Chains A and B, each alone.
Chain A
Amino acid sequence: MSGKVYDQQADPALDMAESTVQAGFDPKSWDMVGSLNLSRQLPTGQVLLDLAAAGRADIVVLTADLGRPTQVIQFGQRYPERYFNFGIAERNMIGAAAGLATTGLTPVISNYSFFLALMGLENIRNDICYPNLKVRMVGTHSGIAMGFYGTSHHCNEDIGALRTLANLSLVAPCDANAIRAAIPALIDHPGPVYFRVGRGRETPVYEAPPSFTLGGSNRLREGRHATIFAIGNLVSAALEAHDLLAKEGIELCVVDCYSIRPIDQAAILAAAKEHGILFSAEEHNVTGGFGAAVAEVLAAAGAGARLVRIGMPDAYSVLGPPTHLYRHYGLDGAGVAATVAKALRAG
């Protein structure tokens, strides 16, 4: 399932007509149009096109000058009257999404997570969550996926902020197939939904759209020594760690815990009971994030199991290429394997 080599073939659905990189250019060159080819795990636009083609005329798409990098431009090209680009004005966009929802439409916001969830937090709270409006928000490029773009373009705080908003459902589909499952599964959910996704360059986890239900999780590997509950990029890292640890005789159970709020309490408590030790893994500050949500479940139930939270430390990330950062912070397969092995040996 894991480790599938990421597909460099041109997306056949991608309209390259506007690209300036034509015949005569180096094959490695790319411009804004071609950049979409680099983010093949972010199929939001195609998923929404498929829903529209299936008769969903109520879906309208909003972005703040990020229709290309967040990959909803395809929807705008096909349905310009149902696609609203607000320019770089995120809070206005969030308010307008609320207004659109009151007229019976289903607005889908697609934007960088750090501007959507962090800048827009109060607007999301007052205008979308409090009135419990059917707005879907896709926050992309979460965590440290933007690497050397720096702290303004990192988002290690969105889970902590968003999971305190009453009425909001918060999920983290970890690759393209998970997004293909998640958006149709939740498009008609009666309240607001936030999809926390990556940059689209993640290692694929699923070969087909998986099961995706609010409060659910997907158990991807069995293991008799401990369970790791991972989200986002850390799901593929945990799968890699599973294989590395197997060579050392450690059997790690891997769960894609994509539903952050509500969270799969039964799965967490069962793992705690079974092994007495469990791991959470996220590309987010461990303070207040997904691991904290797991900790709340364990503490409230008096589960008495040890939880090792793998994630970003409570500090702003250094900058660098994303793969280097994942290695630096122990968020790649080897890093996760090392943390798990060390904790199990200490136990």
Chain B
Amino acid sequence: MARARKNVTDALLAEKAKMIRRETVKLTDLCGSGHYGSSFSMAELVAALYYEFLHVRPAEPRWPERDRFLLGKGHAAIGLYPVLADLGFFSSEELDSYTRLGSPFGDHPDMTKVKGADFSSGSIGHNLSVALGMALGLRLQGSPARVVCLMGDGEMAEGQIWEAAMAAGNFGLANLIGIVDNNRVGSDGEVARIMDNEPLAEKWQAFKWQVQRIDGHDLPAVCAALDWALNGAAAGPRLIIADTIAGKGVSFMEGTWQWHLGYLGPADRDRALAEIERGLVP
């Protein structure tokens, strides 16, 4: 049976991606430091996943049949929380406690505290293994659910990723979907200069994954790839390499590694928010 899509418009998804960027800027204001670059690079991917594809029930966060979403690049949680709040997993007012003493919402997602967070992360390279365990368990129990793990391209340097990739390919996990947010930067600079991971598609294909490579900010392309990955028939795991731009949506951040982590003073914050409201410049 075909999995249902919500069939929302690209315009709505673009608005949600805008919201992710806007709320990232606002939340960073609360604590004085934030991962702008990697939140902005994944905005279209997360918007399309949650508003078009994933089967979740905000009123029933642990619904057994739900699709799972794991944020391997946990430092981008600041871009996930506003989506979970907007969907109703918790109120947006709760998010005002972001990073404050005892808050459920820290720099990395915590499954024990945040409704809608399917697993915790923060230690890069762990979540694809957890996702494959979920996929094994769901398949064993005949669940129709999908498990989606969004990773960073810097994360490709972790050896455990390739342990998990090899296992998922060998276990033939058709309910497991990987996405690489290929924004090309990490803490120390450009990924290609720190530890080049190319040719990336060929690596995953060699590990028995089917791979598509897309522009991760092109919403029709993102939706087509997610439809293939989540809803199409396959014998094994699928990977989407989403070529993205770190800091996408704010001109002075785009393509920079310097805004992997940072803080915008009030004047620059307003400048960034104005650019975000104007939307992406192709």
| A contact set with B: CB distance below 8 Å | 60, 81-82, 84, 86-87, 89, 91-105, 107, 122-123, 126-127, 130-132
Contacts and interface: CB of A to CB of B under 8 A. Distances in A.
Nearest to B160: A91
7 contacts: A91-B129, A95-B128, A101-B133, A102-B133, A107-B133, A126-B123, A127-B130
Contacts of A95: 126-130, 132-133, 160, 164
B135 A99 contact: yes
Given A89-B163, A105-B137, A130-B120, A96 B130 contact: yes
B132 A96 contact: yes
A100 B126 contact: no
A96 B136 contact: yes
A18 to B, nearest CB: 21
B137 A103 contact: yes
Given A91-B163, A103-B133, A127-B129, 16 more contacts: A96-B129, A96-B132, A96-B167, A97-B133, A98-B119, A98-B129, A99-B129, A99-B135, A102-B118, A102-B119, A102-B130, A103-B138, A104-B137, A126-B123, A130-B112, A131-B120
B122 interface: yes
B122 A126 contact: yes
A82 B137 CA distance: 9
A127 B126 contact: yes
Interface residues of B, number: 32
A237 B166 CA distance: 44
B166 A98 contact: no
A91 B171 CA distance: 17
A86 B127 CA distance: 16
B201 interface: no
Nearest to B141: A103
Interface hub of B120, B123, B136 (most chain A Cβ within 10 A): B136
A86 B120 CA distance: 22
B69 to A, nearest CB: 13
Contacts of B118: 102
B134 A102 contact: yes
Interface in B5-34: none
Nearest to A126: B123
A12 to B, nearest CB: 30
A103 B175 CA distance: 14
A103 B68 CA distance: 10
B182 to A, nearest CB: 22
Nearest to A86: B167
Interface string B163-190: 1101100010000000000000000000
B140 interface: yes
The 6 A-B pairs of least Cβ separation, nearest first, read A99-B133, A95-B129, A103-B137, A96-B133, A92-B163, A89-B163
A60 B140 contact: yes
Given A81-B140, A126-B122, A132-B112, A98 B130 contact: yes
Contact of B164 (A92, A101, A105, A132): A92
A99 B134 contact: yes
B64 interface: yes
Contacts of B122: 126
Given A126-B123, A131-B120, A99 B167 contact: no
A81 B136 CA distance: 10
Contacts of A103: 64, 133-134, 137-138, 141, 143
Nearest to B164: A92
Nearest to A94: B129
Interface hub of B123, B130, B133, B138 (most chain A Cβ within 10 A): B133
B131 interface: yes
Contact of A87 (B134, B137, B167): B167
B111 interface: yes
Nearest to B64: A104
Contacts of A126: 120, 122-123, 126
A184 B223 CA distance: 48
A92 B134 contact: no
A82 B122 CA distance: 29
Nearest to A132: B112
Interface in B84-141: 111-112, 118-120, 122-123, 126-138, 140-141
B117 to A, nearest CB: 10
Contacts of B164: 92, 95-96
A97 B131 CA distance: 10
